[in-house]
Amino acid sequence: MIRRCINQATAAFLPKKRSVKNRFSTSTSAQASRSSHRPRIVVGVTNPQTCLVLGGRLRTLREAGFQVTLVSSPGALLTRTAMQEGVEAVAIPMQREIAPWADLVSFVQLFWLLFWLKPEMTEFSTPKAGLLGSLAALLCGVPTRVYFLRGLKLETSSGFKRRILLGAERLTSACSHAVLCNSESLLNEALALGITSKSKLCLLGNGSSNGVDVDRFQPGPGRLRAQLAIPADAYVVGFVGRLTRDKGLPELVEAFDTILAVKPNTFLLLVGWFDAAEDALGRTLRSRIERHPRILLTGFVADVAPYYHVMDVMVLPTWREGFPNAVLEAAASGIPVVTTLSTGSRDAVVPEVTGLLIPPGYPVAISESVLKLLGDPERRCRMGKAARSWVVEHYRNGRVLGLTVGYYQSLLDRKLLQNSKIRSVPADSALNPI
């Protein structure tokens, strides 16, 4: 009777087709979920592009015995990730920015999904999915609720909006049993802001969401140089990620002009796309980038691994992070990195050993650091080797994801563990995400 009433009350809000099915899907019905001894976990993010950082994570949970349902706004990346990871996917539209009516619709859909699936655990991340999903999970009585904090958007906000975002983070954390941070500096910042109590905050190992596939990302020849029309003797400064203000693109472009004045035989390789987020680049800067004769734009790239081989130095002049995957990928590829002292990014570099740390917002600091490295090939080589060794030791994806599975197992109650068929994943196992 209750289910019938909720079904009738929410029919206007629900999409006609909620799930994206694939040949790996474990179950599409609540009855199948309840009859199985495998605990179900719902993993939710706001935008499908965030699915890019879930590679290996979902599959590891599935292989460890969890039934995994991935939730995000509709998009090709949601469908592709579900297929690659072998999990079920459900598309629920969610807007990044504050949109009261659309947020209410999204919340009702999330509530209905959780009510129907009755998962043993939820893991929501990114601000909007984190807030709506965690609140829905609380009201549905999900036994174990995790908020995965991947960064703090409020760090680059001010005034009333910052207060709203801070309040949202606190509410999300209050709805959750645990707040999992992916870097030490992010955990410390969350604690300093009073987002939640120290007892709820957790950092696994040395941080990172997924670690890095050190077999896929490793040093190698730059075979793409010819394809990109880059001369063999030219310098290449690289960037990987969303092309936005918060990633420091305005400062990077300004610094690149200074670099060109000193070393004219240099290219700036931007591996990423112009993101239409709130911190999107203005038309003037975007046009400048697109027309610059020495700036190469790739757009969205499904496999970024070969592009690191083209670079001499990678730069991430970001203003905020959780823990930047691109820095670990570059390090695993033997490339020194120049990044900032911002939250999250400062955890991804060993200063003067694997790369250089600079203050955010200073083009001069970017150009000076890059020119130092370009002018000292022996130092670049030494840093690249050290970076590779550091990543292999601390951030192999098998180790990072093994810690995640172990932690999630520990959060499940004893009765569920006794009745499930979860098998442990060794912390040092070698996992290779598709």
Domain architecture of the chain: domains with CATH: 2-211+397-419 (3.40.50.2000), 224-394 (3.40.50.2000)
The two beta strands, 19-20 and 88-91, are: antiparallel
Q: Report the distance separating Cα 196 and Cα 160, nearest Å.
A: 20
Q: Say what the pLDDT of residue 363 is.
A: 98
Q: Say what the pLDDT of residue 176 is.
A: 97
- Residue 412: band (very low, low, confident or very high) from pLDDT cuts 50, 70, 90: confident
CA dihedral 401, 402, 406, 412 (to 10 degrees): 40
Overall average pLDDT of the 371-381 stretch: 97
More confidently predicted of 420 and 324: 324
Least confident of 37-41, 63-67, 201-205, 390-394: 37-41
- Residue 329: band (very low, low, confident or very high) from pLDDT cuts 50, 70, 90: very high
More confidently predicted of 428 and 93: 93
Q: Say what the pLDDT of residue 416 is.
A: 54
More confidently predicted of 32 and 303: 303
Under 8 Å between Cβ of 52 and 77: yes
**Average pLDDT taken over every residue of the chain:** 88
- Residue 16: band (very low, low, confident or very high) from pLDDT cuts 50, 70, 90: very low
Q: Say what the pLDDT of residue 422 is.
A: 54
Overall average pLDDT of the 268-280 stretch: 92
Q: Say what the pLDDT of residue 423 is.
A: 54
Report the largest interatomic distance among the alpha carbons of the chain, rounded to a whole angstrom: 74
Task: Give the total residue count for the chain.
Answer: 434
Q: Which amino acid is at 371?
A: L
Q: Say what the pLDDT of residue 413 is.
A: 64
Q: pLDDT tens digits, residue range 237-273?
A: 999 999 999 999 999 999 999 999 999 999 999 999 9
pLDDT more than 70, % of the chain: 86
pLDDT surpassing 50 at residue 403: yes
Please state whether the predicted TM-score (pTM) of the whole model is above 0.95: no
- Residue 218: band (very low, low, confident or very high) from pLDDT cuts 50, 70, 90: very high
pLDDT surpassing 80 at residue 429: no
pLDDT more than 90, % of the chain: 81
pLDDT surpassing 80 at residue 31: no
Q: Report the distance separating Cα 249 and Cα 329, nearest Å.
A: 19
Overall average pLDDT of the 272-301 stretch: 94
Rg of the chain over Cα atoms, rounded to whole angstroms, equals 22
pLDDT surpassing 50 at residue 24: no
pLDDT surpassing 70 at residue 425: no
- Residue 32: band (very low, low, confident or very high) from pLDDT cuts 50, 70, 90: very low
Q: pLDDT tens digits, residue range 113-132?
A: 999 999 999 999 999 999 99
More confidently predicted of 29 and 150: 150
Q: pLDDT tens digits, residue range 60-97?
A: 999 999 999 999 999 999 999 999 999 999 999 999 88
CA dihedral 59, 64, 69, 72 (to 10 degrees): -50
Q: Say what the pLDDT of residue 428 is.
A: 47
